[in-house]
Each structure stands twice: as C-alpha cells, then as structure tokens.
C-alpha cells in the first residue's frame, strides 16, 4: 500500500529542506515514512523535529522513540524542548500549541518546508470548532494544505486523506507509533469533538467528515474571491512594522471589510486564527478608544494591544527581568534573557559597558540639547509603545550614565562616538524579524 503526496503549484518556490513535525503518533509517523520513501523529496534534505513539551510523564520516552524511528530511516531527528506557560491564563492546550508553533518557526531556514500530518478528520474537527466560535469564511476555510509560514512554507500533504487510510498504511508497513493518553480525555474542546460529537454525527451521516471538509473547501474558494480587495485594504492600513496596523486607516474601512483585514493580517503574521470576540473587541475599541489607554485582548497565548494609533499583534512575552544586568564588551552579540539581542558593529577591543533593564528614573542627554531629559518622556515622545519599552535594554558606561536605550535613543556623546568610528549599535526585540547578516550569532 502506497500514498502519493499531492504537490501544490507553488511547491517549486520552496527550495529548502523538508522539516517534519514529528510527535511520534500515528499521523506523523505515516507522513515521515512516506516522505522517507519518496526519493526526490528525501533528496531535498529531510529531517524530523520532535517538540518535547514535558507535559507527560513519558515525554522523555517519546523523544527517545522518535530518535529510534529516525535512526531506522537514516534521518536526523532534532528534539526541541519547550517551556509551556501553564499559568498564562489561556489554557494548557493553547499554551502548548503556541510553544510548538514557536519551536517550528525557530527551526526553519529561508525556503524550508514544514510538513505537518493533519488529515481529513482533523479538518472536520477544525471546521466544527470554528463554527462553534462563530468564525467567518476565513475561519471556516480551516486548515490550508499550503501556506506561508515564517521564513518558509507550511505543507499539509495528508489533508485530503481520512485517518482510516493512514492507519491502514501504518499496519501494512508494520510501523510503530505512540498513543498519547491525553487524546482520550474529553477536557479539551477538540478531544470532545473527536471522541463524542463526530462519532455520533458519523452514525447518522457516514460522510460527515467529507462534508465538513467540503465546507472548508467552499469557504476557501469564497475567501479567494474576496482576497484581492482584502489585500489592497490591508496594504493601506499597514505600517513599516508588519506586526502593527494604523488604526486611523483601519477605522476608515467598512466594518465587514475591517473584520476581514484583521483576520488576513493575523494570518499573514502566522498567528493563530483570530476569534470573533477579538474582532468585536477591535470594533469596540476603535469606536470608543482613548489615546491615553493601552487596551489588550489575549487569545491562544497571543495578544492584540493598541497604543495611540497603533494596533500590535504578537505572542505574549515576558518583559526583560528587572534584575537583569550584564557586563558587555560589544565584541560578540549579547543574547538577552527575554529572547532579544544586542550587538555592536565595529566594536573596539577595550570597551566595557553594563547592559541592564530599565528601573525607572533614568535620564539621557540628546544630541543638540543642553540638558538631560527623562528617558521615559523621550520614549513617549517618540511613540515607542509600552510593550516595546518593557523589553528595551539600557547600555550604561562605567559611571552608570545611560549611553543608549536599545537602538532607539542615544546619548549625544555616545552617538558622536558611533559616527566617528563608523560603528552601529543594533537591537533586535524578542521575536523581531531579522536576517542572519543583521543579527550575527555569537
């Protein structure tokens, strides 16, 4: 028994490796096996990535199992250990999904394909979940077989196949896989649909999975028809930062178009689908929002937040710890504990600075100014959002005077020193998009 993997028209655009999200379960085991026995796909560079959530007592055993399977297939297997934010207030399932998504994104190089083993049964569950959450056409289109993801692509080659076909393949080839006991527990919404609702629907309508997958396909067609106008409207609301929209331009759109633009924006960022209540939150804030408020909306370990006329979307991140302090020469990039990075192009050999978090009350003397100014007021005057300030590292000289706040604010003397030596101080906030050339590794 064989499985032929469909390849979308844009498949040739991805010229990197194929990274398989490999949990060790039935679905990903079948996908990995099929890819490993497809010569032209294997020749591109095929590897498995197992995300170790640490949520089950057997998590170490599962990682070991994945390595053994990959050894038998002569494939590399990387294990990414992640910290799942159990107390983030978004539910364990959403927190684990966010951690997994981040691990996948970090593993990919430009042009790589992330191959995931979602199948038709998963698609049916997703359509039901989205319908129960009052999703629009984009949400009901559910999972796509092919889409942009991070610096590469996400590919779901098994999406049209029922799980029964994957099981038959695994049995025919004598494959071994892990059974996650948490899948049998109905606490999670998806498990409840899988274990209780869909079996009941199938007993009455045997083609329920195919019908729900058909709903997704029809909604994807409808979305494609609306997409050109959505793209134009989104382009009009964008700022220089892909993760930030201009609320003034957003508010000028009709309500229905605005909802579609918000969802397309979130999708383009590779974030979890925006629920209907998030769109309602945006509508209410745009109608009544005040410039002196910083309202937020959280979903699936991600956050929408407005600052003045900027609407920002991204993962929920802990700020730079207040007690963080490090001595730095500038010769090698400094990795910050919140995931950010600081580096200096053209650093001399004999410099020493202290890099620390903001404590409050700092002052800085700007170029062309006779007196020092409150750093807080300078950041506010430059429209630096509060969430960005929370991650901003300070560079202090031997006398404890602020020389720089990230790469956003410079002391007059330090700025002159940078220019005289052709140097450049750079800061990448956690999660910021930057190239390898921009942010060299230590």
> Is 23 annotated among the ligand-binding residues?
yes
CA 210 to centroid of chain Cα atoms? 30
> Is 203 annotated among the ligand-binding residues?
no
Contact 50, 23 (CB under 8 A): yes
> Is 24 annotated among the ligand-binding residues?
yes
> Is 138 annotated among the ligand-binding residues?
no
Rounded to an integer, what distance in angstroms lies between the CA atom of residue 105 and that of residue 49?
A: 11
3-state secondary structure of 151: coil
> Is 229 annotated among the ligand-binding residues?
no
Which residues are documented as binding site for ATP?
23-28
Which residues are documented as binding site?
23-28
């Amino acid at each position: 028994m064989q499985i032929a993997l469909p390849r979308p028209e844009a498949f040739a655009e991805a010229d990197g490796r194929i990274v398989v999200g490999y949990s060790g379960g039935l679905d990903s085991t079948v996908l990995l096996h099929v890819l490993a026995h497809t010569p032209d796909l294997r020749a591109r560079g095929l590897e498995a990535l197992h995300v170790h959530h640490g949520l089950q007592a057997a998590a170490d055993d599962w990682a070991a199992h994945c390595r053994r399977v990959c050894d038998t297939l002569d494939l590399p297997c990387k294990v990414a250990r992640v910290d799942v934010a159990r107390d983030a207030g978004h539910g364990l399932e959403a927190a684990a999904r966010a951690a997994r998504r981040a691990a996948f994104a970090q593993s990919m190089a430009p042009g790589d394909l992330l191959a995931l083993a979602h199948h038709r049964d998963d698609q049916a569950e997703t359509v039901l979940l989205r319908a129960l959450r009052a999703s629009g056409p984009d949400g009901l289109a559910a999972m796509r077989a092919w889409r942009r993801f991070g610096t590469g692509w996400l590919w779901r080659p098994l999406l049209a196949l029922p799980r029964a076909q994957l099981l038959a393949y695994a049995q025919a080839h004598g494959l071994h896989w892990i059974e996650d006991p948490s899948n049998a527990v109905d606490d999670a919404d998806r498990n409840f649909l899988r274990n209780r609702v869909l079996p009941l629907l199938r007993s009455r309508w045997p083609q329920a999975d195919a019908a729900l997958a058909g709903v997704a396909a029809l909604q994807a067609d409808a979305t494609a028809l609306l997409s050109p106008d959505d793209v134009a409207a989104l382009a009009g609301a964008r700022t220089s930062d892909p993760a930030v929209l201009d609320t003034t331009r957003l508010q000028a759109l009709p309500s229905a178009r605005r909802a579609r633009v918000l969802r397309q924006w979130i999708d383009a960022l590779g974030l979890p689908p925006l629920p209907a209540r998030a769109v309602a939150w945006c509508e209410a804030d745009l109608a009544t929002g005040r410039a002196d408020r910083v309202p937020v909306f959280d979903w699936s370990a991600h956050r929408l937040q407005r600052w003045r006329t900027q609407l920002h979307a991204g993962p929920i991140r802990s700020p730079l710890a207040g007690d963080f302090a490090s001595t730095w020469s500038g010769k090698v990039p400094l990795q910050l504990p919140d995931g950010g990075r600081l580096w200096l192009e053209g650093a001399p050999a004999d410099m020493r600075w202290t890099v620390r978090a903001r404590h409050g009350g700092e002052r800085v003397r700007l170029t062309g100014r006779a007196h020092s100014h409150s750093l807080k007021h300078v950041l506010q005057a430059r429209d630096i959002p509060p969430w960005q300030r929370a991650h901003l590292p300070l560079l202090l000289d031997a006398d404890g005077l602020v020389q720089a706040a990230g790469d956003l604010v410079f002391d007059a003397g330090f700025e002159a020193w940078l220019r005289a030596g052709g140097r450049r101080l750079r800061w990448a906030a956690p999660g910021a998009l930057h190239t390898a050339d921009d942010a060299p590794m230590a």
